[in-house]
């Protein structure tokens, strides 16, 4: 299931139901599924998702910095060779 947005959210009978949305082949938003979270686990699930998302974001940032650093190193090496 892909989640590109959220639709309706309800809390009934101790369960939070979150409608997930995605872009369909026609280019319009449509329902892709439903996430159902027991009421006593909502805080824990949200915290785990936030922690996981932060971890992924940190890894992406560090890999982008490493990639940019290696490009700069290659360019400076080429410039040094030209000067000699």
**Tens digits of residue pLDDT in 7-64:** 999 999 999 999 999 999 999 999 999 999 999 999 999 999 999 999 999 999 988 8
* Gap between the Cα atoms of 74 and 81, Å rounded: 11
Rg (CA), the chain: 22
Report the relative pairing of strands 15-23 and 5-12 from DSSP bridges. antiparallel
Q: What is the mean pLDDT of residues 63-81?
A: 66
Give the fold, CATH level 3, of 5-72. Nuclear Transport Factor 2; Chain: A, (3.10.450)
Quote the pLDDT of residue 13. 97
In sign, the C-alpha dihedral spanning 11, 13, 16, 18 is: negative
Q: What is the pTM of this model?
A: 0.68
Q: What single string gives the DSSP state of each residue in 32-44?
A: EEEEEEEGGGHHH
What pLDDT is recorded for position 46? 96
């Amino acid at each position: 299931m892909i989640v590109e947005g959220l639709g309706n959210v309800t809390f009934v009978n101790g369960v939070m139901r979150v409608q997930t949305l995605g872009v369909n082949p026609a280019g319009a938003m449509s329902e892709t599924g439903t996430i159902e979270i027991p009421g006593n686990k909502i805080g824990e699930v949200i915290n785990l998702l936030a922690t996981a998302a932060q971890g992924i974001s940190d890894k992406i940032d560090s890999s982008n910095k490493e990639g940019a650093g290696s490009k700069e190193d290659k360019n400076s090496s080429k410039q040094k060779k030209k000067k000699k």
